[in-house]
Amino acid sequence: MKCFHLGCAVLLTCALVSTSQAALTVSLGVRETGGAGPAGSNAGAAGGIEWLDLDGQSFAFDGAWHTLSWDLGDTSVTAFAGATADGTLDGTWGSIEHLRILNSDGLTGPLSIYIDDMVVTTPVAPVTLTDFEGYNLDDQVMFQSPGFSGSTSSNLVAGSTSGITDESAQSGTGSYKVNFEFVDDSPTRWMRYTTFNSAVLGNPAIPLGAGNSLSISFRAVPEPSSLGLLCIGAFGFLRRRQR
């Protein structure tokens, strides 16, 4: 029995360490909407979509908050979709069309991430697009559900959810929790986590050009069910060893 408890503890510790070393890669999808702002207003859903710093940033499953930033002027640009998408940022205003969340480490099982403090920094002053405060629990704010986009819904297991939570926050008491699962461990699977025509803060306008940047805070944790399955597997393995 002591062997079982020790073995299960060791296997679970290894699983936790392995998961905490894993990460998701995130890119910013910007729609070239044009317009005149202001930041955070509904910029509409017309225009080509460009990726900024494609697959260039990541956040780890270590339970800590990580703030990622994108330069909205001087950065690498990759065309994604639309007739005007050409690998350059056109105009002085666009919108956050989506976050491209790539399963770069081939993770399996249910995953949860928290999003908080979306801030645009301009040459004049920072502007908070949202800090996810002042909403009811489970409200959908800015982003649609993980499986909303037809571009990537087939990459996700059905039943993904998102909404306001008070479980964790970078600042204040609220953040946005996203629960999802990729269909397999392929490192090419990704989620188009879109703001497209969301009823609350959809298509949020952002200023483009030198001196402007966007920062978003992320926290990633493994779902408890994933660890439970690992423990069940460890139990079966050690029982076979004892026979």
Q: Give per-residue pLDDT as tens, 163-199.
A: 999 999 999 999 999 999 999 999 999 999 999 999 9
Residue 66 burial by Cβ neighbours in a 10 Å radius (0-12, 13-18, 19+):
middle
pLDDT at 235: 41
How many domains would you assign to the chain? 1
Q: pLDDT under 70 in the chain at which residues?
A: 1-20, 223-243
Of 154, 148, 145, 155, nearest in space to 190 by CA: 155
Ramachandran area for residue 116 (φ above 0: left; ψ -120 to 50: alpha; else beta): beta
Rounded-to-integer distance, Cα 76 and Cα 144, Å: 26
Q: What is the C-alpha to C-alpha distance for residues 60 and 52, in angstroms, rounded to an integer? A: 20
E strands within the chain?
A: 23-31, 49-60, 65-71, 77-81, 93-102, 111-121, 126-130, 161-165, 175-180, 190-194, 205-207, 213-222
pLDDT at 99: 99
CA 221, 225, 229, 231 torsion-angle sign: positive
Cα–Cα distance between 130 and 201 in angstroms, integer? Answer: 9
pLDDT number for residue 222: 74
pLDDT value of position 223: 60
- Tell me the whole-structure pTM to 2 decimals: 0.85
**Of 205, 196, 182, which Cα lies nearest the Cα of 34?**
205
- Tally of CA atoms within 13 A in the half-sphere of 10 that contains its CB: 8
**DSSP secondary structure string, 139-195?**
---SS--TT--TTTGGGB-TT-EEEEESS--SSSS-EEEEEE-BSS--TT-EEEEE-
Max intra-chain CA distance, the chain: 72
Q: What residues make up the domain containing 18?
A: 2-242
